[in-house]
Amino acid sequence: MATASDYQIERAGDIGVRWTPELDGGGRIFVPEYLPIVRHLFGRVGRVFEFCAGPGFIGFSLLAHGLCDSLALADVNPRAVEALRETVRGNDLADRVDVYQCDGLAGMPGDERWDLVVGNPPHFPEPYPRFGRGLITDDLGWRLHEDFYGAVGGHLADGGSVLLLENSMGSSPRDFTPMLRAGGLEHVRTLWYPANGQSCFYYLWSKKALSGLILEPAAIGAYDVELTAPSSTLIIEKDGLFRLRLHNRLDRPVRPRLMAAAWQDDLDEIRPHDSRSLPPLAFPAGTYGIDDHSADGKGGRLATIAVAAR
């Protein structure tokens, strides 16, 4: 067991963070990025949790700079946990900081609730020999990430966010977005903040999903809808924001009415064998009809759109 004299001290505001070189996974160099990002996106929050904390450079810095009221930190490495507890003791922070030894979130008290989760977890899904520091660098098969995203939603306060640092040399956001959805989270945005020049590091921002809330994607999907009699059917694989292009395949003009469970929207007339594009429309999961409400009274269903849930 290390003693107080075994640690180096890194200043984080008025907090002296205890650390040793073998515990440093790079957190010290990311603090100058994390601080302005958290200040810009969230301001001061109630409680922060640092995941895979190591010596806790990020969490202690957020606390020291007034960006949270209290702090929780966890790591699987008992030496890191010892260092965290030494920092708490050496700075009289026991009333504001809790430290846990956890493999991911396994063993985390069920009543822990966080307004913001930060962290610099392992960045590679297979051994990365360039560094040779497996516990810090490697998350084999993304097991740790998958378990984390599967459990973290149960610890998020209302409106809480997760902002993890990742590395494009080892991953892309597409590796994690299925884990987010499986854990009931929504991918808000991916952020890059190369304050010191070119960087391979990015921040993955997610929140607990709000049922029915659709975030505008980088690219909006487009679908062709055939207006026919009998009606056609279009199946869309997941809810989202879409542009529809309506094609009138009939020998008469039609006046489409887009029908949902609680609303309807009358559209302009479309001439025979003509087409019209609609502006982006948000479609939660459900079934929608396009009926004909032409003045000649022919009416009838022209198309059905079935949108599946994510």
- Distance CA(125)–CA(120), nearest Å, equals 14
Residue 223 φ then ψ, to 5°? -135, 140
pLDDT of residue 85: 97
Do the Cβ atoms of 91 and 16 come closer than 8 Å?
yes
Domains delineated in the chain:
4-208 (3.40.50.150), 221-307 (2.60.40.420)
pLDDT of residue 76: 95
Distance of CA 291 to the CA centre of its chain: 38
Residue by residue, pLDDT tens for the chain (310 residues) are: 666 678 999 999 999 999 999 998 888 889 999 999 999 999 999 999 999 999 999 999 999 999 999 999 999 999 999 999 999 999 999 999 999 999 999 999 999 999 999 999 999 998 876 555 577 889 999 999 999 999 999 999 999 999 999 999 999 999 999 999 999 999 999 999 986 666 889 999 999 988 878 877 777 889 999 999 999 999 999 888 899 999 999 999 999 999 887 788 889 999 999 999 999 998 888 999 999 988 665 679 999 999 987 6
pLDDT of residue 166: 96
pLDDT of residue 34: 93
- Distance CA(27)–CA(49), nearest Å, equals 14
With tokens 């205890």, the residue in question is 18
pLDDT of residue 164: 98
Do the Cβ atoms of 98 and 71 come closer than 8 Å?
yes
pLDDT of residue 86: 97
Q: Give kind and range of the element (H or E) at residue 78.
A: helix 78-90
Predicted TM-score of the model (pTM): 0.80
Q: Which of 190, 203, 157 is CA-nearest to residue 48? A: 157
